[in-house]
Amino acid sequence: MTTYVRKAIIMTKREFYAAIVNGTVSEDIVSFAAQEIAKMDAANDKRRNTVTKKQLENEGVKTEILAHLGAEAKTATVVGEEMEISTQKASALLRQLVNEGKATATEVTVKGKGKQKGYIIG
């Protein structure tokens, strides 16, 4: 059985930056930079693919919002009042539902406020 040993480059970030400032870019510097980029990419992928606690909570709230929507358009203010959440949160979650294709935004005239977005199921 053959084992492969990968040479690890041990260098501090200070040494890395100092080498770049001095203009001494060797193969070790390039390898260290490639390793650091790989680490950053792995961390970003992990962060992107991890569902947060708040996102999980919002999925439940979005399901409840869909239950409140019907054929008659409702504004984010009305949905927020019905669900006892802030208008801002209702608006953000309604926008997400529209982006997911589960709701549709239409223009509604509200007395005293003018035109606002109304949301219906669909």
Residues 88 and 40 in one domain: no
Does position 3 have pLDDT exceeding 70, yes or no? no
Residues 95 and 40 in one domain: no
Predicted confidence at residue 8, as pLDDT, reads 58
What's the CATH code of the domain at 68?
A: 1.10.10.10
User: Residue 119's beta-bridge partner residues?
Assistant: 74, 105
Does position 61 have pLDDT exceeding 60, yes or no? yes
Residues 92 and 62 in one domain: yes
121 within 8 A of 62, measured Cβ to Cβ: no
pLDDT digits (tens, 9 = 90+) for 7-43: 556 778 888 888 888 888 888 888 888 888 999 999 9
**Considering the entire predicted model, what is its pTM?**
0.63
Residues 28 and 59 in one domain: no
Domain limits for position 107 = 53-121
Mean pLDDT to the nearest integer, 98-112: 91
- Residue-averaged pLDDT of the chain: 87
Angstrom distance (rounded) from CA 93 to CA 79: 10
Residues 57 and 110 in one domain: yes
Report residue 117: phi and psi, to 5°: -80, 135
62 is a domain residue: yes
